[in-house]
Amino acid sequence: MQRTTPSLWFDGQAEEAANFYISVFDHSRVTAITRYGEGAPFPKGTALTVGFELDGQDYVALNGGPHFSFTPAISFVVNCASQQEVDRYWERLGAGGAYQQCGWLQDRYGVSWQIVPRVLPQLLAGADAAGAQRAMSAMLGMKKLDIAALQRAYAGR
């Protein structure tokens, strides 16, 4: 068991959200569901908590009510090996949500995600300071990150 587990607070959509997330990520599954009983703030049988794994990482979705909502101050980074992965996660997680600058998106439940090519840190911290600055400028002008365009910017082409 991992030492820390992100817990996501929902207002009745915990089970739906968990099922959505496991449909997006390979090697993912629901691991446990606890349900509200009689006299609870949600109808009997509604999920209280949903334990789930996304590609081996444990999460908990909690139906806690309308008291709290998500903010972009907390986000999940999806490290992508290829443009195909960037495209896949960008489209799947962003469907019904909102696309934002620099590889950020907010999904249909309000959770923020960063869809990041693994090569990005190398481009932004490369030995060529001018190239790194060009890559940063290119990234700041993008919503979905384009690996080839970032590499061209770094190389000065």
Which CATH class name applies to 70-157?
A: alpha beta
At residue 115, the pLDDT reads 98
At residue 17, the pLDDT reads 98
At residue 58, the pLDDT reads 97
At residue 156, the pLDDT reads 95
At residue 1, the pLDDT reads 74
Classify the C-alpha dihedral 36-7-76-3 as positive or negative: negative
Secondary structure (3-state) at 104? strand
At residue 2, the pLDDT reads 87
At residue 77, the pLDDT reads 98
Q: Which fold has domain 1-69?
A: 3.30.720
pTM for this model (two decimals): 0.94
What gap in Å lies between CA 114 and CA 88, rounded to an integer? 13
Listed in order, strand segments (DSSP E) in 1-146 are 7-10, 29-35, 47-54, 57-63, 75-80, 98-99, 104-106, 112-117
Stretch (H or E) spanning 150: helix 147-155
**CA-atom Rg of the chain in angstroms:** 18
What gap in Å lies between CA 34 and CA 92, rounded to an integer? 27
At residue 131, the pLDDT reads 97
Q: What is the pLDDT of residues 4-49, one digit of tens each?
A: 999 999 999 999 999 999 999 999 999 999 999 999 999 999 999 9
- Structural domain spans, the chain: 1-69, 70-157
